[in-house]
Amino acid sequence: MQTCPKNYLVQSILATIFCCLPIGVFGILKAIKVNKLFDQGDYEGALEASKSAKSCARWAVIVGILVGVVVMILFFVFGVGRALISQQ
């Protein structure tokens, strides 16, 4: 008897909200597909969808962090950095 693979739905939703919307939405769609495929008896398909959902959630977090770092650098260089220089 096989158990249903983990669907990573919560991780995908959180990654969508806090990190990267497009990749997160794709992860949510894959996460929803896991249970449907498992219920249809397609264990291999459910396992593949689970791996894809996990990968999407991870990539959404990575992209979100990278974008956040770039925005902070640009803000400091062009925003706060200029304000600090002009005050001196």
Q: What is the pLDDT of residues 9-37, one digit of tens each?
A: 999 999 999 999 999 999 999 999 999 99
Average pLDDT of the segment spanning 55-68? 95
Cβ-proximal residues to 46 (8 Å cutoff; 6+ apart), any chain: 4, 5, 33, 34, 35, 37, 38
Using an 8 Å Cβ cutoff, are 27 and 49 in contact? no
Q: Over the stretch 36-58, which tens digit does the pLDDT of each residue have?
A: 999 999 999 999 999 999 999 99
Token code pair at residue 87: 């005050």
Cβ-proximal residues to 7 (8 Å cutoff; 6+ apart), any chain: 31, 32, 34, 35, 49, 50, 53
